[in-house]
Amino acid sequence: MGKNKNNKLKILLVEDDEYDVDITQRAIKKSDIDSKLYVVRDGEEALDFLYREEGFEDAPRPDLIFLDLNLPKIGGHQVLEKIKVDDQLKHIPVIVLTVSEREEDMVKAYDSGASSYIHKPVNPDEFGKVIRTVQEYWKMAELPPR
């Protein structure tokens, strides 16, 4: 992965479900976000990626994180908490993407410092819409300087 081409938005997707990864990739590809998507499959990998450990020594610092909540090994909530208490990482916006409809999951995610909480739509087209909305939002909001 090493060095990135200039202005591409580096997105880290933390997601264990093959289909969701695929659909997210597709939706991002279909949108005109100039981005590079990095995918990790569980919470442990996500933290390794962020701390650049255990085979992720060359991982870049992502500009945006899509985080699933229900993850193997280390859960999404825990990953989010770790990110938000780490001075090096806490500025990275985290968008929680999940199928969970439990209110407490949402409240907990926002409490831990999630920038946004989005229900993962079932329909791929709906998914595209979500990504476009996120894109609109990030176009307007200035991302923290890299």
Partner 1 sequence: MKKSIYLLLFAYFVLVLGIFAWGVSDLYLVIGLMLSPPGALGLFYLFRSSPFTSSKKLEGWGAQRYAERIFENSSNLLFVVDQGGNILRRNKTSRDRLGREERDNLNIAEIVHPDYMDTVKEELANMFKMGQFRDVKVRLMAEEDEGKKVLPAQMRGVAVTDYAGVLEFTDQEEKYRLKRRLRESSARYRCLIEDAIDTLDSGVVLIDKNDQIVWVNETMEDFFEIDREHLIGLDANRALRSYVESFKEPESFLEMAESAYRDNSHVSNYTCYIEDGRGVEQRVLEYRSIPVETDRYQGGRIEHYIDISEVKRLERNLREKTKRLEKSNEKLEEFSRSISHDLKAPLQTIEGYSQVIEEDYQQKLDEEGKKRIQALGKTSQRLRQRIEGLLTYSSIEVEGGSFRPLDLGRIINEMRDDLDYVLEDVDFRLPEEFPAVYGHETLIIELLSNLITNAVKYNDKEDPMIEFGWERRGEDYLLWVEDNGQGIKEQYLKKIFEVFEKLNPRENPEGTGIGLALCKRIVEEHGGRIWAESELGEGTTFYFTLPGKEKELAISEKKDMDLESAKSKKKEPVSNR
Site string for partner 1, 15-54 (x = CB under 8 A): -xx-xx--x--x----------------------------
Binding residues with partner 1: total (CB under 8 A):
20
Check: CB of residue 35 under 8 Å from CB of residue 28. Answer: yes
- Distance of closest approach, residue 52 Cβ to partner 1, in angstroms: 27
**Which helix (H) or strand (E) covers residue 101, if one does?**
none
Closer residue to partner 1 (CB): 84 or 119: 119
Q: What is residue 41's three-state secondary structure?
A: coil
Footprint of partner 1 on 105-134 (CB under 8 A):
105, 120, 122-125
Strand order in the sheet with 94-98: 35-40, 9-14, 64-67, 94-98, 116-119
Closer residue to partner 1 (CB): 42 or 63: 42
Footprint of partner 1 on 54-113 (CB under 8 A):
68-70, 98-102, 105
Beta bridge partners of residue 11, listed in sequence order = 37, 64
All residues at 6 or more sequence positions from 100 whose CB lies less than 8 Å from its CB, including other chains: 69, 70, 106
- Distance of closest approach, residue 11 Cβ to partner 1, in angstroms: 19
What's the gap between Cα 86 and its chain centre? 16
> What are the residues binding partner 1 (CB under 8 A)?
16-17, 19-20, 23, 26, 68-70, 98-102, 105, 120, 122-125
